[in-house]
Amino acid sequence: GAVVSQHPSRVICKSGTSVKIECRSLDFQATTMFWYRQFPKQSLMLMATSNEGSKATYEQGVEKDKFLINHASLTLSTLTVTSAHPEDSSFYICSARGRSPYEQYFGPGTRLTVT
């Protein structure tokens, strides 16, 4: 099956700093990538959708200036959490879709802790 990687798997940062999370599709070209946020014991919440070379489309209520998404190539998307605060602590998961509009593969997730 298709493999999606994320880096780092865990990150701890201080309040007010920025942190970047990378998402890579390892064995396929991802025309569309998605970023999700998941709180403990809850479902996945879509934050934004990005297409290679285009600006990301953010879901309602997600601050685009705080969560910067870049999809610079068909295998790499990044999520930068700017001026992080403790309430941004969460599990962030990226997902990638290839040529098929249906199959969507998820990365292993990144645990962000803001102190």
Binding stretches for another protein (CB under 8 A): 1, 4, 6, 34, 41-44, 46, 49, 91, 93, 95, 101-109, 111
Q: Which is nearer to another protein, 14 or 41 (CB)?
A: 41
Name which of 48 and 84 has its Cβ closer to another protein.
48
Question: Which one-letter amino acid corresponds to residue 41?
Answer: K
Q: Minimum Å distance from CB 70 to another protein?
A: 19
Tell me whether residue 70 is exposed, middle or buried, using C-beta atoms within 10 angstroms of its C-beta: 0 to 12, 13 to 18, 19 or more.
middle
Q: Please, are residues 32 and 96 in contact by the beta-carbon 8 Å criterion?
A: yes
Query: Judged by CB, which is closer to another protein: 54, or 83?
Result: 54
Minimum separation from the CB atom of position 103 to another protein (A): 7
CA distance 50 to 72: 10
Q: How far is the CB of 12 from another protein (least distance, A)?
A: 15
Which residue do the tokens 């996945």 mark?
44
48, 58 Cβ separation under 8 angstroms: yes
Q: Which is nearer to another protein, 8 or 108 (CB)?
A: 108
